[in-house]
Amino acid sequence: MKTLKNYFAMAALCAVIFGCTDDDPAPVQTKDGVISSQSDVDLDAADLKGEITSSITLSNAQEWVLTGPLSVASGAKLTIDAGTTIKAQAGGTNVYIAVEQGGQIFVNGTAAAPVKMTSGAANPASGDWGGLLIMGNAPISGGGTATTEVVDYTYGGTNPTDDSGDITYLIVEYTGARINGDKEFNGVTFYGVGSGTTVSNLAVLYGDDDAVEWFGGSVSVSNLLVANAKDDMFDWTQGYVGQNNTNFYGIRQAGFVAVTSDPRGIEADGNLDGNSPQDAGQSNPKIDGITIIHNAAVEMSDMVKIRRGSGAVITNLYVALGAGATAGDLVDFYDDKGVAIASTSITGTANPANGLDITDIKKSGTNGTSTGTATITSGTTSAVNTSIFAWTGFSF
């Protein structure tokens, strides 16, 4: 009995001194811009933004509204479940998804349930939001590191097999928000991303600048669809050397009239903007199977432009123009800042219908001549079958 009395006495004392009651409110979490756990208050489906510092999953149980920058810090992982939709708040240049050096992204879409990153606007349009940026530790031309062109992230390094994660069955739409008169986001940008990263079944639609751009690195992409990009469909620079690219398909549809001053199917530079021709390790990727279709009434500057110290080995190229569409050159290896390197090789076919000149291969200009080769024959069939993009729902 004495023991029981002592127990109640201690309990009463605890209540007086510490206020030990079951009615005390739980501590209130406040947002601090850091997403450190799956239960973090910053992991808000209606207001998604902040820096991810641990392993976080976005599930398909709800729609996610991207309202600001969402970054994945070094050592952190972002996993996105199949069937998940992320809708970006339209109208802001500060709305994008970025994977920093050492961070990883795992987009686990399927053909039946792809992941979609799109605009949240009632009437979506190109340029509604930024896009997807991935920064890795793979080499860039000239060595060392560099800073991204639109927001200040570091990329580049010495690890060609660097692993930034896996992406499969992903649709990215209505990107390309403009920072100023000279800078705007691409749809998907790979900055120094290594070959340990897997990217397959990617669709980039209705972007306001380049659809996909590689700044150095060695990552390869398979089954890549680009539709109605305002600027270039496929753009690489600064030492991009991906060796296993397959099945690229780029199309400008009839009626799509938004253009920059020089839109291209492929725009390839060896070094950044042609300003460092002395750089070691310049661009020289390989692509097997690439189709470029231009059906719009506005002119495309070049269907394929390889210049400024870039090389490339491209097999199974197919090019076609729609009725009323025009292009400056079929293949152009020349630029005043430098030509395509001698090992550049392109083989493929082009459809001569609608005035496309399959012999229009430019190699020379005021400042030099490229000895790269382009062998283009007449043909009407793409090596890339559009059926592999049926999962996107895009109507060709």
Token pair for 314: 């491209």
Contact 290, 313 (CB under 8 A): no
Contact 335, 370 (CB under 8 A): no
Map residue 241 onto helix, strand or coil.
coil
Query: Where do we find the tokens 């620079």?
Result: 237
Q: What is the pTM of this model?
A: 0.93
Note down pLDDT in tens along the chain; length 396 residues.
334 334 434 444 434 344 444 556 667 789 999 999 999 999 999 999 999 999 999 999 999 999 999 999 999 999 999 999 999 999 878 999 999 999 999 999 999 999 999 999 999 999 999 999 999 999 999 999 999 989 999 999 999 999 999 999 999 999 999 887 678 999 999 999 999 999 999 999 999 999 999 999 999 999 999 999 999 999 999 999 999 999 999 999 999 988 899 999 999 999 999 999 999 999 999 999 999 999 999 999 999 999 999 999 999 999 999 999 999 999 999 999 999 999 999 999 999 999 999 999 999 999 999 999 999 999 999 999 999 999 999 999
Q: Measured between alpha carbons, how far is 80 from 86 in angstroms, rounded to an integer?
A: 10
For the chain, how many residues are written? 396
Query: Where do we find the tokens 């810090």?
Result: 73
Token pair for 334: 């020349």
The pLDDT of residue 23 is: 57
Token pair for 384: 């890339």
Q: Measured between alpha carbons, how far is 48 from 276 in angstroms, rounded to an integer?
A: 39
CB burial readout 206-223, b (16+ within 10 A) else e: bbbbbbbbbbbbbbbbbb
Q: Measured between alpha carbons, how far is 243 from 44 in angstroms, rounded to an integer?
A: 39
Give the strand pairing for 34-35 and 245-252: unpaired
Q: Distance of CA 19 to CAs 11, 24, 25, 75, 93, Å?
A: 11, 8, 12, 41, 50
Contact 358, 320 (CB under 8 A): no
Residue among 217, 104, 216 at smallest CA distance from 163: 104
Angle at 195 between CA 280 and CA 178, to 5 degrees: 80
Query: Where do we find the tokens 């199917």?
Result: 265
3-state helix, strand, coil in the chain (%, to 5): 10, 40, 55
Q: Measured between alpha carbons, how far is 216 from 210 in angstroms, rounded to an integer?
A: 16
Q: Measured between alpha carbons, how far is 283 from 276 in angstroms, rounded to an integer?
A: 12
**What number of other Cβ atoms are within 10 A of residue 368's Cβ?**
13
Map residue 276 onto helix, strand or coil.
coil
Residues 6 or more apart in contact with residue 23 via CB below 8 angstroms = none
Q: What is the tens place of the pLDDT at every residue in 361-388?
A: 999 999 999 999 999 999 999 999 999 9
**What number of other Cβ atoms are within 10 A of residue 8's Cβ?**
9
The pLDDT of residue 24 is: 60
